[in-house]
Structure 1
Amino acid sequence: MEFMGDKDKVYDSILPASEYYPELALSEFQSLFHFLSNETEESLLQQVRVARIMTHRELLAAMSPFESLNELSLAQFGDIDTAATLYKQAVFSLAADFIISNQISSDTTKDAAERQEALTQKAEHCSVQYRRAIDLLINAHETYRIEVI
């Protein structure tokens, strides 16, 4: 296994910008998530694609009054950077949650118990980060408190 964020193997795949949303570079995902994984570039890209689709579906109603994510950002936060930052946080956190959850399901040996606990905590953290980013994008402030029990 290698670190996904290993600087010697930076993936160059990009999900292109869409009508509302900015492009997403797999290298940026790698730079943010430095956990062990044996995922290929193609499998990482697939997880980011699925996370992006799910994020777009959640933001559909919030985006409908706006022409772009920048416009939503200006209306909600008074700048054009905040919404793009939260959007990337949401997509990348959800993708990381998928990848970590996959690692947990394949790590079933007795010796892996401590590793599974650490991975479970990381997955829960990513899930909370996703939910917080979506909440902020939709409501411009956190509307509820998320706790992992």
Structure 2
Amino acid sequence: MAFIGDKDNVYDAILPATKYYPELTLAEFQSLFHFLSNETKESLLQQIKVARITTHRELLTSMSPFESLDALSQAQFDDIDTGVTLYKQAVFSLAANFVIGNQISSDTTKEASERQEALTQKAEHCLVQYRRAIDLLINAHETYRIEVV
């Protein structure tokens, strides 16, 4: 196993920009998330694709009045960087949750119980990051407080 963000082999895959959203790079995901995983390039790319689809579905209604994420960001936050930042936070956090979930499902030995607890907490934290980013993109402010208990 190696740290995703510390691998000597930085993955060069790109999910291209869409009508509304910017491109996403696997290398950027690798640089942001440093948890243990033995995921392949293809596996990570698949998780990011699914996370992006989920995020797009959540934002569908909010995006319809706008020409792009930049336009939504300009209207909501008076700049274009905030929208891109929150969008990437949402997609990458959800993808990280998926990757951690895969790791949890493969760590089923008795010796792995403490590690599983740590991974579970990390997965929950990633879901909170995802939910906060979506909430901010949709409402321009946090509408509820998220706590992991």
Q: TM-score, normalised by structure 2?
A: 0.99
Aligned residue number for residue 138 of structure 2: 138
Aligned residue number for residue 68 of structure 2: 68
Q: Distance in 1 between matches of 2:68 and 2:52?
A: 16
Give per-residue Cα distances to partners, 1:4-59, cap 9 Å, x unaligned: 11252100000000000000000000000001101000000000000000000000
Which residues of structure 2 form unaligned runs of 5+? none
| AA partner of residue 102 (structure 1) | N
Aligned residue number for residue 45 of structure 2: 45
Aligned residue number for residue 29 of structure 2: 29
Aligned residue number for residue 6 of structure 2: 6
Give per-residue Cα distances to partners, 1:54-109, cap 9 Å, x unaligned: 00000000000000000000000000100000000000000000010111111110
Aligned residue number for residue 95 of structure 2: 95
Q: Distance in 1 between matches of 2:116 and 2:103?
A: 8
Measured on the aligned residues, the alpha-carbon RMSD in Å equals 0.6
Deviates more, 1:100-109 or 1:46-55: 100-109
Number of matched pairs: 149
Deviates more, 1:99-108 or 1:15-24: 99-108
Which residues of structure 1 form unaligned runs of 5+? none
Give the 4+ runs in structure 1 shifted more than 6 A. Answer: none
Aligned residue number for residue 107 of structure 1: 107
Q: TM-score, normalised by structure 1?
A: 0.99
Q: Distance in 2 between matches of 1:34 and 1:91?
A: 16
Matched residue of 1:59: which SS?
Answer: helix
**Sequence identity percentage:** 82
Give per-residue Cα distances to partners, 1:94-146, cap 9 Å, x unaligned: 00000101111111100001100100010000000000000000000000000
